[in-house]
Amino acid sequence: MNMLTTTAHLRPDTEVVIRVFDGTGHASAAPFVSLRIGNGDVDVVFLADLGTAPALRTLAMAAEKAATVLDELAGRIPEGAA
């Protein structure tokens, strides 16, 4: 991954969009996908080439673990305190 560090807060309505660039209809002959996370004001876009599926799966697993931790933390907050 090329280096860039940034911070953005996710919101409940944050959109996730996947676009497939399969070598037709765009300038690049090599197929890739883009994974865009955001609502248009601030977006994070991952461009994934062939061979990077394992990295996307690792990202997905980390996101699932983070969501589980958030669910557990939310369960600790008394009703009405949030």
Check residue 52 and give its pLDDT.
96
- Its domain, for residue 24, covers 1-50
- Asked if 33 and 64 sit in the same domain, the reply is no
pLDDT along the chain (82 residues), means of 10: 83 94 75 92 91 97 97 85 61
1 and 32 housed in the same domain: yes
Are 41 and 7 members of one domain?
yes
Radius of gyration of the chain (CA): 17
Query: What pLDDT score was predicted for residue 81?
Result: 64
The reply to whether 46 and 56 lie within a common domain is no
Taking the complete model, does pTM exceed 0.85, yes or no? no
Residues 21 and 8 grouped into a single domain: yes
At residue 82, the pLDDT reads: 58
**pLDDT, position 23:** 74
What is the pLDDT at residue 34? 95
Both tokens of residue 45?
């876009």
- Same-domain pairing of 18 and 28: yes
For 28, which DSSP code? -
